[in-house]
Structure 1
């Protein structure tokens, strides 16, 4: 079985979740070939070979990020850290200014029959925070993928993180349960 996990991450939280999902898949399927890729690394050849495609990204403005919301998020963190010298600075991930999941879907081809997928996001834990996972799942279905799990959200404590305690364990368990 070949599993490809594609993620977008601004400050490292979604990357950590993607890596935990990868660990869970590896634990439950030791024979699986697993690639954990940023959206920049996830080209058609690598994604097309997947038996299971898992896609995730952060939540911005109650849904998937856009070029504008990514830029706003990076600028807000920079401005906040400049205004509060006591607050630790969160460095953006390498490639954080590049394309996000929403843009990546524009280049994703329709899949062959029977290809499976799952969607996840990272999000804040307040009522109006929304989530990106359901929008990612809709995009996957529109590209011909069959979802093997309900879209899942993993909670961050603040805009830049960290992840809530226990979320990486939950992500690993979610990955192990993917079929």
Structure 2
């Protein structure tokens, strides 16, 4: 089996969850070939080879990120970080392709190509989530979404990830097998 976990991450939280999901897949099926990579590195040649495609991203403004929300994240970091280190990290992530743009190059899934969607989000009642939009786009590309879209909680917009969420992400990844 070939599993590909694709993520978009501004502050690193979604990357950590994606890596935990990949670890769960690998634990559940040790002989699987598992790749975990940012959307900027997940071209059609990579995703086309997947038997399982897992896609995740952060929640911005109640849903998937947009060019505007990524610019806003970079601007917020600029205000809070006088030495600029966090801003440079956020800017590098925010300048890459977001999942919305990445979906434009995603090849159509085929019969039996399974998929799942996750997001990272704040634990605020009206925060919304990106996972449902990701799952919808996967379905529109003819992937068989095999799990309910899942959200993993971060303590603040920049993180950290809530205690226990990485373990939950690993278990969720294993359950996808």
Establish whether TM, by shorter chain, passes 0.5. Answer: yes
CA shift for structure 1 position 93 = 7.5
Structure 1 segment 135-154 matched on structure 2, within 5 A: 135-154=133-152
Say whether residues 1:161 and 2:159 are aligned partners.
yes
Say whether residues 1:27 and 2:27 are aligned partners.
yes
- CA gap of 1:147–1:111, structure 2 versus 1, over 3 A, is same
Q: In 1, distance between residues paired with 2:62 and 2:130?
A: 7
Offset from partner CA, 1:58-99 (integer Å, 9 cap, x none): 0000000011111111111221234xx9xx957428543211
Say whether residues 1:78 and 2:75 are aligned partners.
no
TM-score (norm 2): 0.94
Structure 1 segment 16-165 matched on structure 2, within 5 A: 16-82=16-82, 89=86, 91-92=89-90, 94-165=92-163
Gaps of 5+ in 2: none
CA shift for structure 1 position 173 = 0.5
Q: Is the 8 A contact 1:57 1:101 kept in 2?
A: yes
CA shift for structure 1 position 23 = 0.6
Other-structure match for 1:174: 172
Gaps of 5+ in 1: none
CA shift for structure 1 position 132 = 0.1
Other-structure match for 1:11: 11
Offset from partner CA, 1:18-41 (integer Å, 9 cap, x none): 000011111110000000010010
Q: In 2, distance between residues paired with 1:33 and 1:89?
A: 33
Q: In 1, distance between residues paired with 2:90 and 2:106?
A: 25
